[in-house]
Each structure stands twice: as structure tokens, then as C-alpha cells.
Amino acid sequence: MPSSTFSSDKIRNVALLGHGLSGKTSLAEAMLFLSGATSRLGVAGSSSSTLDFEPEEHKRGGSINSAFAWFEHEGVKINVIDTPGDANFVYDAFAALRGADAAVIVISAPDGVEVQTERLFYAAGELGLPRVLVINKMDRERADARATLAEIEEVLGVKPVPLNLPIGAEDKFTGVVSLFQRKGLVYERDGSGKYIKGEIPAALAGDAQTAVDALVEVVAASDDALLEKYLDTFELSDAEVRQGFHNALKQGKVLPVIFTSATRNIGVHALMDLLQWAAPSPLERAAPAAIDSNGEPVEWVASPDGAFVAQIIRTQIDEHAGKASVLRLFSGQVPADGQVVNASSGESERLGSLFAMRGLGRDPVERGVFGDIVGVAKLKGSRTNDTLVAPGDRLRLEGVTYPAPMMDYTLQPVGRADEDKLKTAVERLMDEDPSLRIGYDDLSKRLVLRGMGQAHLDLSVDKLRRKFKVDVTTDLPAVPYRETIRRKVTAIEGKHKKQTGGAGQFGVCVIDVEPLPRGAGFEFADEIFGGAIPRQYIPSVEKGVRRRMEAGPLAGYPVVDLRVALKDGKYHPVDSKDVAFQMAGSKGLQAAMQKGGVKLLEPIYKLEVIVPSDTMGEVMGDITGRRGRVLGIDTRGRNTVVQAAVPLAEILRYAPTLRSMTGGKGVYTAGFEGYEEVPPNLVDKIVADSPFRRAADDDE
């Protein structure tokens, strides 16, 4: 089905946001079905879903990527961005937000305001997006409209304004009272979306009038002229209420609420109507922040007639259809010849045939207009967050900054062919998912894939195998333990003497070695007097010391935080050479550490864990059981924030554990804090398990 070209004032770009399993995809599927864009009501997380089209989403039963779809409603093109809400994948939502002009925050009535809902609500607000709340799953057990509204006000700190009222709840949820229409709408419960319009049920008449009065008062308070009239007459016309509501929504002065059951298709058409007439068009949105080629903020005007500016808000790779880049057009139109420049890299790109996306479906678009969201295939080097501009321009739009990954996997190719393709395949995987990172484990000499949690990494590896035909085995990376000397030792001799029949090797160094404070690194001091070692061999001693530091004598981990002072030495005019003094330095450090004793150090990470308050005790007990120290506790709404310092060895798999303890509602961030000595009772096991121990007679 081809997509007609809509004028900018007839376009609405809407992101669906909320905690995982709140019903965002089901809501989008219902809107597609009601609009006629699909012929059946798709089921989220299944093969019948338009938006959950990845096999990994079917396997998991929920969204892992942002997906795009469009439909027409009352002459308006509505671009819907369905975003994931699981903590493993939620950062895809932050990138997709760049393409939206309004945000629909979906809240599960039985579950209330969950952690990711709160985060995404504030993220949308920081971008200045008008926000609409949808209280979904009103047909489920424990659905309570009043309790959910009260929780919204308590947790989000904003008074919600209902636009409809539920008729019944749980298994008796049969419809809604429309406050704008002042009618009761009773639905079929078969998912068809069909309803009968009638009078407001008598039991709800009083609540409906109170809600109408509250709505009118909020609208009046948002505009001085309307407020003056309202105070004079205590009434506003329907047209004035609608126009005033539109302006108030656009300015963030009202937080409307709609009650639905997406899976039963009850109340969904009210959201479609609201988006059609009340959500802002691209013409009503301010230009996003931009910087120039020097990274300095720059003022600019976004205009339908201005120079072309677009941003890539998502990259989608399909093993059959190839790579598709999803663009939000922020100014101008796509040039007729398609020639543009990536302002981030300076490389030229050509925009070929454009299409509107509906899941995996691609509907041809005649031309790309200001404010629209379109797809384009086979861009060469452009990635998510990059800005595309007209040739000669270098203005760049600000992109999403992704947080540090929470969990790592090392990747081991299964075969030689996999080894040759691995790095390229991982880079292509990162094109599609910028929250992934790639690294290298110096200890195991393996490529490292870094992500937001175990589920994120497992599904990314599944994609690696399916989309890019690279088979790997995975493991947790080795904990980067470190070794250091316990106490200062002096006058330690390192001697290397070797005769091979011709010219031999001879070098002697005398060193003092002492520990430095944690994090100080390594210092080498030349304190030679009187030419005991020729000047050209002093760097050789340092080089040998550094080489020995690569693998400590206790468990083979790198040696850190020490000072080596070269005090004296001996040389031979014929047999002394660079390699001899390297070996002397290495042996000297080995002897010093044996005499001074070795400490094993482990990396400590600072955790910030946000959990529902009713799980705080279990979470804190778990942190203590991981040898963690609780540094502070704070309250944030109905959640508790725990600050703690925990050894990295104890949190390599913390993400799935936290998810299990909190029912998926807990989130955390972690950052490297420093090194501390390993408790004595753990040293022997770490040493025994280390794959990096050197042989006792290893003399390099």
C-alpha cells in the first residue's frame, strides 16, 4: 500500500513509552487495526504482530527494538514509534524519542507507575514533548482507576486530567464515558473495536460532571483570555475548550489521561481521535538543539522551506531486505537528486527511494517532507544519531548519549570463517543497536561485547548468529584482578648471565621497590651514580621491569601501584647488551616481590540501585551477601535508591538477579570506583582458578 504525501500540518509523530509489558505494542496494533492499516488485531510478541517482527521478540514475548508504523486517521498521517520498556532495551526508546513530537505514556492499571515509566516520562518532559497518559489493561484483575490516578499524582508529581472515565473495571470493564462527547461508549469485548454510543450511565453521571468541570478549569487556567471569560461566565464553548486544550497540551500545561484495554480494543479510538486533533504537528514544534562543526551551540530555524536537515533515529538490519535507516526530517525536504552530507563524518550520501515503514513493511513515499519520518536503504557509513544535511552545511543535531554498559560477554569464534567475520559482524550489530559496545579483554585475548544486561547480550548474540551468520561461544570476561607489593624492599639484585659459546649476555641491576597508593600507577626512578650501568641500558632495565609487571608472581595478573628505583648495577664491556639488562630488570622485580610479599587487588564498583521500596530489604541483603558496603539510602517517589560499593567479581551477573528480585522493576547503574585488597579467605581460590599463572621456572 503506497503512502500518500501528506503536508506537514497533517503529520503527527508519536512515541509510545512505558515499562515493559504495559501494553504499548498491543495499543499500536489496535490503532493499526482500527484504521484499516492491518486486517487483523495483532498480538504483541507473536508472529501475528506487525511491530514485534524479530524472531528474538517472538522468543521473548515482547519488544526489544523500537518499531515504526504509520496509519491514516481522519485525513491525518500518524507515525507511531513503538518503543521497548525493558531495562535491557529501553535505551532504544531514548533514541527514538528524537523523532517524536508527542509522547504517549502507557501505564498498566494493575501495576501502576513502574520504574521505566517514570524514567521515560521525565525524559519526554526534558525534550519538551507534550505527554498523554494511557491507563491500559483496565480489564485485568486489580485494575483500579482511582488508585492509579492517585499514584500518578504522587509519583510523577503532576495532577492528571481524565478525558474519559471507565465504565466498570476488571472483567466488568465494558467501555468509557467520553467527556468531550458527554456520552457513554459501550464496546464489544471481541477486539473488534465496535461500540454503541448512548447516554452516560446514571451511576457515573456525577463523576462525569465533576471531571468535565475539572477539564474546563484546567483549560481555562492555561490561557489568560479563556480564564477571564471563564471567571465572567463560568462556561466555555466546546470549540474554545478544544482549542484551549490543544494549546495547553502543546505547552505541557495539561496531562490528559485515557483509559483503555488494548487487547480488547476498548477506548483505543479515543486516543486516535486525540492524536489527530490535539497533538502538535511538526510545524508547531521548536527546532532541536544543534551544534556547529566546532561543537559550539548554534541558533537555527527549522522550516519546510529551509535547508535540508534530518537525523537518523534508528537503524534496522534485515538479513533479506538489508539495512534501512529511519530518518526524521527536521527542516526542508529531501533534495531531488538525493545528494546529502553526513555532518558527523563529512562523508557524502545519496538518499535513494524513500519509504514509510510499517514493521517490516515498506510503503513507497513520493518525496520526503518537513516533519515526516521515512526510511531509506543502503546508506554507506551513516549510523543512528548522525545528522544528514544539504551539501555545504555542517550543522549537527544533538544525539542520544548512551550509558555505560552493565554486563560483558567475551566472544570466541567457533570456526576460522567465524573468526574472520566476527569484528565486522559485531560492528554491524552496533549499527542497529548503539547501546552495545565492543572492547577487547587483554587477559583472555578475546573480543568483548558489552550491553545493558544478560537478556540484552543473549539476544544480541542470537542476532549475530541469525543475521550475520557468525557462530560464537560466550563467557563472562575474566575479572581484572591486579597484584602489587606489600612492603618496601631495598637493595634487591637482578642478575642475568648467559654464555652460549660466543658473545654472552651479562647484566646486573640493584633496585629498591616500594608500594604506591591505590591508583597511582607505576614510577621508575633512575638513581644511578658513577656510571655503574651505561646510560643506554637504563631504559632496558625499565623495559624489563614493565614486562615482568604484565603478569604478577601470585596469580599472573598485572602488577600495579609500585615505585622502582634503580640504585646500582654491573656490566661487562663485551657481554652486556639491551636484552641482558631487560632480563636483569625482570628478575630483579620478581625477586623483590617474592621478598616484599604480594597483595591481590580486586576492582570495586559503585552501584546505584533503584528498586520499589517493598523490595529494598531483600536487595540490601543481597548486596551485603555480595561483600558490598551500603553507602547511602534515599527515597524517590515510591522507590528506594541504594548507593553501594561492591566487588566486580560479585556483580558480573547482577542484572538478571536484580530483575528476579524486583519482578523486573529494579534498575541499576555501575561505575568503576577503584581497587581494594582481596580478603585473605578468597585469595587461594582466585589463585587456583586463575588461567594466567606463570610456571615457577618461567624465565621469559
The pLDDT tens digits for 547-571 are: 999 999 999 999 999 999 999 999 9
How distant, in Å, are the alpha carbons of 113, 125, 147, 302, 458 from that of 108?
8, 20, 12, 37, 27
Give the whole-angstrom CA distance, residue 83 versus residue 57.
Answer: 13
Average pLDDT value for the chain: 93
Give the whole-angstrom CA distance, residue 299 versus residue 680.
Answer: 60
3-class DSSP state of 201: coil
CATH T-level topology, domain 407-475: Alpha-Beta Plaits (3.30.70)
Closest CA to 581 of 513, 506, 529: 506
pLDDT of residue 1 exceeding 50: no
* pLDDT value at residue 695: 56
- pLDDT over 70 percentage in the chain: 98
Looking at residue 340, what DSSP letter applies? E
Q: Stretch 426-448: mean pLDDT, rounded? A: 90
Work out whether strand 164-167 and strand 297-298 pair parallel, antiparallel, or are unpaired: unpaired
Q: Stretch 678-691: mean pLDDT, rounded? A: 95
Closest CA to 166 of 196, 147, 131, 139: 139
* pLDDT value at residue 298: 92
403 or 249, which is more confident:
249
Lowest mean pLDDT: which of 23-32, 213-222, 400-409, 579-588? 400-409
Q: Stretch 23-38: mean pLDDT, rounded? A: 97
pLDDT of residue 121 exceeding 90: yes
Q: What residues does CATH 3.30.70.870 cover in the chain?
A: 407-475
3-class DSSP state of 236: coil
Q: Stretch 262-291: mean pLDDT, rounded? A: 96
Lowest mean pLDDT: which of 87-91, 111-115, 677-681? 87-91
CATH code, residues 290-397: 2.40.30.10
* pLDDT value at residue 665: 74
User: Where residue 156 falls among pLDDT bands split at 50, 70, 90?
Assistant: very high
User: Where residue 697 falls among pLDDT bands split at 50, 70, 90?
Assistant: very low
pLDDT tens-digit readout, 478-513: 899 999 999 999 999 999 999 876 778 999 999 999
Q: What residues does CATH 3.30.70.240 cover in the chain?
A: 601-687
Strands (E), 48-200: 67-73, 76-82, 102-108, 131-136, 161-162, 164-167, 175-178, 183-187, 195-198
Closest CA to 447 of 470, 414, 477: 477
Q: Yes or no: is domain 601-687 CATH 3.30.70.240?
A: yes
- In the block, cell 632495565 appears at 541
Q: Stretch 611-630: mean pLDDT, rounded? A: 94
Q: Which architecture characterizes domain 8-284 according to CATH?
A: 3-Layer(aba) Sandwich (3.40)
For 156, the grid coordinates are: 510523577
* pLDDT value at residue 263: 97
Give the other-Cβ count within 10 Å of 8's Cβ. 17
pLDDT tens-digit readout, 633-654: 998 877 899 999 999 999 988 9
Give the whole-angstrom CA distance, residue 588 versus residue 4.
Answer: 78
* pLDDT value at residue 81: 98
pLDDT tens-digit readout, 520-550: 999 999 999 888 999 999 999 999 999 999 9
CATH T-level topology, domain 482-596: Ribosomal Protein S5; domain 2 (3.30.230)
pLDDT of residue 425 exceeding 60: yes
Closest CA to 377 of 327, 325, 320: 325
Q: What residues does CATH 3.40.50.300 cover in the chain?
A: 8-284
For 395, the grid coordinates are: 550543522
User: Where residue 3 falls among pLDDT bands split at 50, 70, 90?
Assistant: low
pLDDT of residue 317 exceeding 50: yes
